[in-house]
Amino acid sequence: MMRGGWQVRWLAGAVAGLMLAGSAVAREMRPSDLPVEVFAHRPVMSNVSLSPDGSHVAYLTPIGGRQHLVVRPVPLRDDQSPSILAPNDAEITGIHWPSNERLLLEVLGTEKVRAAMVGTSRSLPLRFSRVISVSRDMKDMKVLLDRRPKGYSFYLSDTPILNFVDAEHVLMAYPADTGPWPGVVKVNIVTGRHSQVQWPLPNVVSYIPDPTGGIRVAATYDDRRLELRYLSRAPGGPFREMRMQKLLSDEDAFTVLGFGRSGKDLFVASRHEGDRLAVYTYDIDTDTIGGKIADDPRYDVGAAMVRGGAVTAVTWTDDLPQRRWLDPAVQKMQEALDKAVPDSREIIIDTAADGSLLLTASHSLAAPTTYRLFDRRTGEYSFFGDTYPGIPQNLVSARRPVSFKARDGLEIPGYLTLPVGMPERNLPLIVMPHGGPMARDDGGFDILSQFLASRGYAVLQPNFRGSTGYGAAFQQAGERQWGGLMQDDVTDAAQWAVAQGYADPARMCIVGWSYGGYAALMATIKTPALFKCAIATAPVTNLIRLYREVGASSARNLYRGIFFGDDPDELRPISPFHNVEKVGAPVLLIHGDLDIQATVDHSKEMARALSRAGKPVEYVEIAGMDHSPLLTDQMVTVLKEWERFLARHIGR
């Protein structure tokens, strides 16, 4: 995999040559020489997108420790400077180009909400989302639908942007004054004026417009009955039930992804033909599933890229991101570009409206993500930017897809990262289970495992049962298995690494974030002699507390059914807080005081309980940090604490 300023010239549809002209590669530097700050900042480029006419690229970059919006011409001449927007205390999470002259920014903020709003005796941090319209030169800015949070009446948890109607209008979900459910409004992104398009539907969780902007499909959720209903209608007609799904009991998973360009067919993800999700067409008039569009024999295929209200590509992840375009010409170009760059997967992520310019992301098991531009007029495929230019290519640790059999014979996939320049035997090992737990690790560049490998540790990231993306049976095998089979898979991962000779059994620690932090703490209880230390960052520690917190969510019965069951007292044996006397290794707890997903009380209470029990524990609280760091300084603190603690217990 090559990183740097090289280009590919296309002649008669074939690759004519490659030119490597990158910056000088450091040859004497060791990975451990790289400072913590190199790994602590966000990618130098993220959320990269192309203007409709292909004249400008927008992306996020960390400046002074916080994400900034950058808009630069293509190509950037010596006499030009990019436009840069500095945020206040909100995080930019999405960038959209509704026109060549204007962008929409999705931002996420956190603030303490008065106790009266949330029914508690004190203020709690809550997240809220806003959409900002900004001119390309950053001189004109407007907050759209600005309204302070009112109780839990925020935007939907995902993007409030539903569709781009034209260059000046967008459809957005918007909470109503009369109840908790959102309706849909049409917003002028220049003036900020809006008009009602769809009044709120009871229990609605999402709206899906067609390419014309008509609200044709909606989804509602009944938490008491655990029923998800899709409603559909003809243009101008009433809603009718299209499909009902009984959650936790219906094996035929079904998700509406969006409309095709014609507005007649839907694209849906379904398991009706097997264990893995696949994408199909769906006839909205006859309520029948049609032909298969995309599937994978090992992985779920269940997401889509939507542009202009229409599905344009099907997306999924095997070891690396995959994308299948519905336009055969774009798909052919995707495959040709992929062949042009060795040892990587080239993914088209954006195109100019006339198809003349394509923006790609280059993913690899052995390099950070890079971005390139392909000009179809000249045949030039040129380097645009790197995500982590501060890490020389020869110091990047490649990720290896691995698998092992758990004690009950189930095959468990994962990823192994080994330190550069060290023998591949008897290494100090970090087992790092992912958060979620309904998530997964993949083979893409992972800055946390790179940091740990740079310090001389092997890193093993098991996708324990319950992880997503491997089919229904694998995910359902993790239901109600916190501290059970999910935990055993993490234990078996460590023992596999020892059996394979990668790990020194006397120098193993477990590190986790969120659910991974819970798994790290449970490892010190369930297998107290296996690991020499445990680091839990933003962990869940008290499952009875979590049971109550889940009970405050809009899907409490669903989450309780997947995770815990109906009796909180049954959670005591698998709750780290209630089993501190069994902890058999030193523990480091790190938590942000503005964490919403796992409140800081989880770590505070755990630290006090461990201290009372005479167990070795350190507690670090980071002011202003949510569940994950938004500022570089926050991540620097996290990584330095990891480095110090690990060096003390298993360092060389």
Tens of pLDDT, residue by residue over 160-201, are 888 888 899 999 998 776 667 889 999 999 999 999 999 999
Q: Mean of the pLDDT values across residues 625-648?
A: 95
Neighbours of 453 (CB within 10 A): 25
CA–CA distance, 44 with 42 (Å, rounded to integer) = 6
pLDDT above 80 for 545 = yes
Question: Is residue 204 domain-resident?
Answer: no
pLDDT 10s digits, 249-287: 766 789 999 999 988 889 999 999 999 999 999 999 899
Same domain, residue pair 592 and 499: yes
Query: Do the beta carbons of residue 533 and residue 645 sit within 8 Å?
Result: yes
Residue 591 CB partners (closer than 8 Å, separation 6+): 537, 538, 539, 598, 600, 602, 603, 604, 619, 620, 621, 622, 625
CA–CA distance, 256 with 215 (Å, rounded to integer) = 13
How many CA within 13 A on the CB side of residue 613?
Answer: 21
Q: Predicted confidence band at 56 (pLDDT cuts at 50, 70, 90)?
A: very high
pLDDT above 80 for 44 = yes
DSSP H or E run through 205: strand 204-209
pLDDT 10s digits, 486-501: 999 999 999 999 999 9
Dihedral in degrees, nearest 10, Cα atoms 438, 444, 445, 449: 50
Q: Which two tokens stand for residue 63?
A: 């400046």
Same domain, residue pair 538 and 639: yes
The residue to which tokens 């897809």 are assigned: 401
Domain count, the chain: 2
pLDDT 10s digits, 103-137: 999 888 766 665 444 444 556 667 777 899 999 99
Q: How far apart are the first and last CA of the chain?
A: 31
Question: Is residue 401 domain-resident?
Answer: yes
Q: Mean of the pLDDT values across residues 313-330?
A: 95
Q: Mean of the pLDDT values across residues 569-592?
A: 96
Q: Predicted confidence band at 517 (pLDDT cuts at 50, 70, 90)?
A: very high
Tell me, what's the pLDDT at 371?
97
Domain boundary among 363, 390, 417: 390
Q: Which two tokens stand for residue 619?
A: 């507690």
> Which of 10-24, 345-359, 376-390, 602-616 is the least confident region?
10-24
552 compared with 139, residue with greater pLDDT: 139
Would you say the C-alpha torsion 293, 298, 299, 305 has a positive or negative sign?
negative
CA–CA distance, 450 with 40 (Å, rounded to integer) = 11
Question: Is residue 227 domain-resident?
Answer: no
Q: Which two tokens stand for residue 375?
A: 């000009």
pLDDT 10s digits, 138-151: 999 998 987 655 54
Q: Kindly report the CATH number assigned to the domain that includes residue 555.
A: 3.40.50.1820
Same domain, residue pair 579 and 450: yes
pLDDT above 70 for 26 = no
Tell me, what's the pLDDT at 115?
45
CA–CA distance, 385 with 394 (Å, rounded to integer) = 18
Tell me, what's the pLDDT at 23?
36
Same domain, residue pair 385 and 459: no
Q: Where are the alpha helices (DSSP H) in 456-600?
A: 472-476, 485-499, 515-526, 543-551, 556-563
Same domain, residue pair 571 and 617: yes
175 compared with 360, residue with greater pLDDT: 360
Question: Is residue 289 domain-resident?
Answer: no
Same domain, residue pair 416 and 482: yes
DSSP H or E run through 454: helix 447-454
Question: Is residue 123 domain-resident?
Answer: no
Instruction: Indicate the length of the chain as a whole number.
Output: 652
Give DSSP secondary structure letters for 14-35: EEEEEE---PPPPSS--GGGS-
Tell me, what's the pLDDT at 560?
84
With both helix axes pointing from N to C terminus, report the angle between 485-499 and 515-526 in degrees, rounded to the nearest 10. 70
Domain boundary among 336, 370, 390: 390
pLDDT above 90 for 613 = yes
Same domain, residue pair 508 and 628: yes
Give DSSP secondary structure letters for 285-343: TTTEEEEEEE--SSS---EEEEETTEEEEEEEESSSEEEEESSHHHHHHHHHHHHHSTT
Q: Mean of the pLDDT values across residues 205-229?
A: 92
Query: Do the beta carbons of residue 602 and residue 545 sit within 8 Å?
Result: yes
Partners of residue 291 on adjacent β-strands: none
Query: Do the beta carbons of residue 87 and residue 66 sit within 8 Å?
Result: yes
Share of the chain above pLDDT 70, in %: 90
pLDDT, averaged across the chain: 89
pLDDT above 60 for 24 = no
Q: Number of H helices and number of E strands within the chain? A: 11, 37
Same domain, residue pair 482 and 359: no
Enclosing domain of residue 556: 397-650
Q: Mean of the pLDDT values across residues 58-65?
A: 92
Q: Mean of the pLDDT values across residues 368-377?
A: 95
Question: Is residue 341 domain-resident?
Answer: no
Same domain, residue pair 372 and 463: no
Same domain, residue pair 383 and 489: no
Query: Do the beta carbons of residue 468 and residue 475 sit within 8 Å?
Result: yes
C-alpha pair distances (Å), 508 with each of 254, 310, 523, 528: 42, 49, 12, 12
Same domain, residue pair 424 and 380: no
Domain boundary among 390, 406, 424: 390
Tell me, what's the pLDDT at 153?
43
Question: Is residue 462 domain-resident?
Answer: yes
CA–CA distance, 519 with 433 (Å, rounded to integer) = 7
Give DSSP secondary structure letters for 131-190: EEEEETTSS-EEEET----BTTB-S-SS-SEEEEEETTEEEEEEE-TTSSSEEEEEEETT
